[in-house]
Structure 1
Amino acid sequence: TGPANRPGAPVERAESAEGEVPHRTPRRVGRFAIERRLGGGAMGVVYLAWQDHPRRQVALKLMRPDRFNPAMLRRFEVEAQLLGRLQHPGIARIYDAGTCDVGEGATPYVAMEYVAGVTLATWAQSHAEPRAILSMLARVADAVEHAHRKGVIHRDLKPANIVVDPDDAPRILDFGVSRAVDDDPTRRRQTAAGEFVGTLPYMSPEQIAGDPDALDTRSDVYALGVIAYELLAGRLPHDLDSTTLAEAVRLVTQDDPAPLGRLVPALRGDVETIVGKALAKEPDRRYQSAADLAADIRRWLDDEPILARPQTTGETLLRLARRNKALVAVSAASLIAVVLFAVGMAAKAVEASGQRDRAVEAERVSERRRLAAEAEAAIARSVSEFLSNMLVSADPEQSLGESLTVRDVVDAAAAGVDGAFPGQPSVESSVRGTLGATYRGLGLFEKAEHQLEQAARLATSAFGPDDPRTIAANRVLGMVLTDQGRFDEAESLLFDAVQRLEAQAPQDEPALILARSDLARLRTEQGRLDEAAEMFRTTADDATRVLGPDDPATLTALHNLATTKRIQGDYEGAEELTRTVLEARRRTLGPDHPQTLYSGNALAAVLQRRGKIDEAEPLYRDTLAARCRILGTDHPSTNTVRQNLATLLIENGRLGEAEPLVLEVLQSCRRSLGPRHPRTLMALNMHAYLLEDLGQLEEAERAYRDAVELASTIFDASAPEWYPPQSNLASLLQRLGRLDEASDRFSELVAKAQANLPENQLYRCVIENNAGDCLRQAGRLDEAAPLLEGSLARFEAVLGADHPRTVKARTRLEALRAAERGEGG
């Protein structure tokens, strides 16, 4: 027989060659008269038998008694009841199950329907056409889904356990090693950690790991993927015949099989994608149910677009990082984290955009999609190769021992793009989009803008203005413009993205949900917080309904809604929502994922605002330690949480503890990002603030003036980031009693803010309020009044009456009224 007919070696390979029960065939087992032996394996032997009442032929499986202790026997009896609930035409019925004594003590048995026919592998040899094989597999998946819905996982799906009867109907056999889906932990632990149950070539990575807590229905989905691969390619995904057990485990858990389309070129595109998704190492990347797998197979059979998609650029980067750990320096690892965080959400819209596209002409759609899939695969290969070379450039041997920063690696990659992809605008657009998103994650907004502008231009040239890839490129560009405070330009791009998607996609299209989320974030930056909160709330509801409650897009929308609540002063609501997002990210992404750490930092910030310092401080410190470990000590996100921890210490009078943190942030930013970077500006401004609190006012003034000079070289007055150091310097001059100088500075700042920032933008409100207070102190009450009155009204409208900034603004206005009555100075 050929490779497709090889059933695969059982896991228990340390046993005898056959691994069978070492006893004679019994004549009778309870109500069953044994006729002959049908086969056997490591778990037991199957006999053809006759049941007395009712009179019928059965397949009787006797388990190996040495595999069962008393506790496991009790568990077997419970699970036998579950097996009896399986009533599906694709599953051989379980008639009876229990224990008997055949001279070797209590022996579990299962009596099941006897199905005449051939194994699935034998059937496939005479039905080699992929459509026939996949149609059969969809029916098998239907039966598996029924078992899952009844609470049973098979755990040993393979061609030898699937019989095709004379009517070409598949029947799944042998649920004797199955496990209850809702198995409680005490019973689940009876399958000891590290114990193998199943047949190795068909076992999922988590099943091989031997952790019963990690095993769920998606393990059976993986086995279906192995079966599909084997029947279509004529070989198993991994050749395990000549390997040791340890090497076999390594291959299955770590190495990707050859793409199906490489072995069978006719299967490139959708079929390769479907099988590849079922075979994903990580359960979260597989089809989440056998029903989902069956549905995508039928979409392909019906010449409809499938819902699976090839591996993304972000996933490619992650795998490259994993495979080049010895070569990739810390800076490159940081780059990967930035790419995954910054690119993931932008790429999501592109990945999901084709999900609802329906073909008009059935005879053309298959070919069109095949060509499109091949084109996308070619793009992915080119991008992967380019990025792989970029990562290898971080190898200390390749760089002659030089210490490379993240920016060095990205700059080198960016320099290599020009001329690298002649006649391939789609590939160049994808590479530049990735680089632009990475620059954005590093805070290098001008470089990000340059790359993203070209990515959008190339996408427009290659795909047209309405293509989802073009829209996605413009969306990310719009977010970079938002980062720079160029709100009018950002509004044009982001609103246009929403309009184009609304015109061509259903209202629950994932790409549209993401575009609306980006527009909501712009509203936050514009100070339109009520509008932003409502948009984030709607986006989160839509994402929950369409993508699921734990989808990254859903959690991002909820995170942004929580941030808006915090800005508005709804600290209680922000805390509750941030805790929800943090718990979901810990559960779905793990405790050390960058987005999980992002939520940890956000929760600590909310707790700090609520005065829960004893809870906020350790959370900051834990997040800081994790970011240092995962992202590196100089990563921008590491410095963000370090800066937040320093702020907490400063606010609580622990200036001595805060000072080394503040200096570390400043030195790190200068070292990793350079002296003229927005994050370096923030660190310098914070250092000046600390010096002021320490009473070192002359040093603080010099530091503020350095920050003002740096801000003017990076930004102009149209950017919100230009204002904080200017306002802080003016406030220090006010504190020093130099009121004329301070008032003049504030007046200039107010004029610029009113000319460049939206009316409700928070920096503008703060500057007008600070200026009004300075003018009040200088005795210029008529000039102070409109500034204090107007800023208070806007604080109340944007932040609410009880927000600390609103309360402070109200106190300042009351001081003005007292001065007008002659009651104060």
Structure 2
Amino acid sequence: LDAVQHAHVRGVIHRDLKPSNILVDPEGRPHVLDFGLAKFVDSTGTSHSITHTNQFLGTLAYAAPEQVRSDPEGADVRSDVYALGLMLHEMLTGRRFIDVDMPITEAIRFVTEVEPPRLRSLGREFDPELSTIVQKAVAKDRTRRYQSIEAFAGDLARYQSGEAILAHPPSTWYQVRKLVERHRFASALGGAAAVLVVGLATTSTVLAIRTERARRDEVAQHEASDALVRKFQDLLSSETYEQFEVRLLDEYRRATDPDVRLDMARQLAGTLGLSGSNVAASVLFNDIRGALLGRHEAPILTQVGDASPDLWRARLNEWIRTGDEDDPSAIDARRNLARHLYRDGQYEEAAREATRVLDLATARYGARSRDVAGIRLLLGDIDLAQRRTADAVTEYRTALSITSELLDPRHLRLIHAGGSLALALALDGRLEDAAQLYERILDMGRERLGESHPTLTTTKSRYAAVLEALDRPDDAARLLEEILATIDTPSAGSESDPPHLALGRTLEHLAIVCHKAGRSDEAIRHGARLVEVRRREGDPVAIADASVLLAAVLIDGSRLPDAALVLREAVKGREDDPIGAFDRLLLAHCEGDDDALALLGDAFAGSSLATGHAEAYALLTGE
């Protein structure tokens, strides 16, 4: 994924990703081959390729729908997402989606119309979140796929680390609309017939869904969704525009229950756009507007892309109004509300909602359930954000205890929960306890994830900070050097290979702990590398911070001329910045002004400065 994303950032779309174009070397590293069909998109958005236009490009078994339609040049980064998603589907299931012996016309139909089978439909051993990720990657409609390889890889990383994924399974009504859309393209009356079908089926469907949704598990919901789509497909028939509109409105008007009418309007509104029925649309949207004046309807807000806490609050209020607060869907809505409030920084309200959902989930699922463990992790996050470190320790410890009972000792969720507890222990001042826990987490992580996994990188970085605070700089440096070995390639920071996000932070920390350990030459080397990386990133403030940190290490090693050279560049780039005054005082010290360091200390006493300056002064004075 990283290799393809690397190409995409530079405007190169592969267009022929398939297993035979992925080479794995003896060390287990994959390499992407054969860019012969690649398309290059320049900075103006103009595409260039070495192939002829208006011809099929790629391998049919892994081609995205847009590649086999009339405009193959319309393939973009999402076409590569589709191919990689299909390969992941094949790796997990052991089955090819398109058989090599399939007739070409049937293969094209599979590419353009047939969805790959959901993982969960093939066996309960597939995690529903993983199934959702794969399903999103191979969506026929590219607007519903991951919009970049980075987004695809991000959800896979979140899944591996036990975090909430961003993808959500497509709704039944989205599937119905896509079915209608295919029929519209096949027949001029397809849209009209489709809305008629929805009108005929809606009342019974809505009532059935409202009655049964509280007791359906995830697999049953998928099966019901598939059955509904098949029912609409069976009912599709030709009928005149006037006939379908009359039938539709009659069905709608016969519904007397206000909630059923609102549900019908909500569900039909998305489909009406395919039929062009302005009269029916006007009736339905006026009814929706009137209903919404009295209360919010979360599914409609979802359709317009509103992912704010108001969405989940609206959905939750609907469940509370109907007396179903302990329904699994209501519990999910309240948990999502608490999570969104936490992410928005509304910690007090988030804590109230999370505490309430903890009570509801405990009553429904049991105090030692996986759901309760997840909610306690969220409560710990909220406590930590409010600096209630002791409370966070309690919540995280309970979550870890529950998770340990339910999952394999090496499960990713255990590593995640353990890391959260270790961080809370450290922030609560219990450094020895934190260090012991971090050591256990690293042992699990090395066995389960490998040295280069992002979760392990974060764990090592936090553990190194704890070791530094325990006055164990050599041990801290060892961990940071392990991180550096996995993220600092020979060309990292160059124009052709952007630096890893953690590279600068790791180099900065290494320079500091090596200095504290008396390893001056190593501290200088890491400080110089930090300046080089910051220059590549191009942020003047970050460059100056790195420069003063390097200068401080050089000064402490009695290399004043070298320090002065580094500082002159920092001063030159910040002549009009007030913080530049601190740079100039450091430079004056290097150039022989004996009073400069004392003046710098006085200035620091009343200022809040960037990390580089604060660390520089601490290294110079020992304070």
Structure whose residues are more often strand by fraction: 1
Query: What's the TM-score, normalizing by structure 1?
Result: 0.34
The higher relative CO (CA closer than 8 Å, separation ≥ 6) is in 1
Greater share of helix residues, 1 or 2?
2
Larger Rg: 1
